[in-house]
Amino acid sequence: MRYFNTRRTVRRYTDAQVPEELLSEMIAAAAQAPNTGNMQLYSVVVTRTAEGKARLAPAHFNQPSATSSGSVLLTFCADFNRFEHWCKVGDASTGYDNFQAFSWAVIDASIFAQQFCAIAEMNGLGCCYLGTTTYNAPEIARVLSLPSRVVPVTTIAVGYPVDDDTPMSDRLPLEAIMHKEVYRDFSDDDIRRIYALKESLDENRRFVAENGKQTLAQVYTDVRYTREANEHFSRLYLDFITSCGFKLPE
């Protein structure tokens, strides 16, 4: 418990390379994580060459954890390509071109990714998720030569941490995220209490000031995750998912 309590996201890596054998062992161990009906509806593409990373990094807006010479990039995908190929070889008629099937694969890919993250961190490596994966999935698919029926879901950058005392991220108190028996909705006062620590942190006060905003929430809505960007990337992602053969019900 103590270990998990104190984990932190690592965005800066030494030049030491992650050994290929260790990486394979960690991925194999992560695949022992649970998945839907043991269909293993996921795959991971490992990008470790300088050339490969140079081609992939722009899709992640060239964030430092993607361009660092010490990081390996793991793109975790929702994958029906392999499973349906098996069904075809086994003379089985599939019905997985729908949102339910896509949902299983997204959940499975995320669980697989997080099990990898936990294993890597326990082996002394540092990890950073790249949330940009759902923004630029079409470009990522092109760079990684993903076949149809394979949708990128999330990416982990992994490498040996520069020992720079990265602070732990703040988290909301337990009452914010855990409900007993039924969901207990919040009053305005509950919300103020729950977010008080987060809003009081120096780093967050600085964000508010630097961005010329009144509140930290406005930094999220007006700067970091705006309606315009969210709607643009929603359309891109959903069009791509549809083009990969996951139809939405009429």
Residues 150-169, interacting with a second copy (CB under 8 A): 150, 153-154, 168-169
| Distance in Å, CB of 187 to a second copy, minimum | 9
Task: Select the span of 11-19, 59-67, 82-90, 157-165 touching a second copy (CB under 8 A).
Answer: 82-90
Applying CB under 8 A, which of residues 68, 237, 240, 244 lies at the interface with a second copy? 237
Q: Identify the residue among 69, 200, 211, 226 touching a second copy (CB under 8 A).
A: 226
| Nearest alpha-carbon partner for 165 in 12, 5, 2, 3 | 12
Our finding on whether 6 is near a second copy (CB under 8 A) is yes
Q: Which stretch binds a second copy (CB under 8 A): 11-19, 63-71, 93-101, 158-166?
A: 93-101
Please report whether residue 216 would count as binding a second copy according to CB under 8 A: yes
Does position 65 interact with a second copy (CB under 8 A)? The reply is no
Amino acid at 98: N
Dist. CA 165–CA 185, nearest whole Å = 37
Residue 75, class by beta-carbon neighbours within 10 Å (0-12 exposed, 13-18 middle, 19+ buried)? buried
The yes or no reply on residue 47 touching a second copy (CB under 8 A) is yes
Nearer to a second copy, 19 or 90 (CB): 90
Q: Is 161 helix (H, G, I), strand (E, B) or coil?
A: strand
Binder of a second copy out of 62, 64, 217, 243 (CB under 8 A): 217
Report whether 136 contacts 143 (CB < 8 A). Answer: no
Sole window of 11-19, 37-45, 63-71, 157-165 interacting with a second copy (rule: CB under 8 A): 37-45
Q: Which of 7, 17, 162, 207 binds a second copy (CB under 8 A)?
A: 7
CA nearest 72: which of 46, 110, 42, 44? Answer: 46
Distances (CA, A) of 76 to 8, 48, 132, 137: 20, 14, 12, 11
Rounded CA gap, 157 and 70, in Å?
9
Which residue, 192 or 205, has its beta carbon nearer to a second copy?
192
Q: Which stretch binds a second copy (CB under 8 A): 11-19, 60-68, 121-129, 157-165?
A: 121-129
Among 12, 14, 31, 245, binds a second copy (CB under 8 A): 31
**What are the tokens at 11?**
């965005």
- CA dist list (Å): 59 to 50, 114, 157: 15, 21, 14
The whole-angstrom separation of Cα 105 and Cα 76 is 10
Decide if residue 188 touches a second copy (CB under 8 A): yes
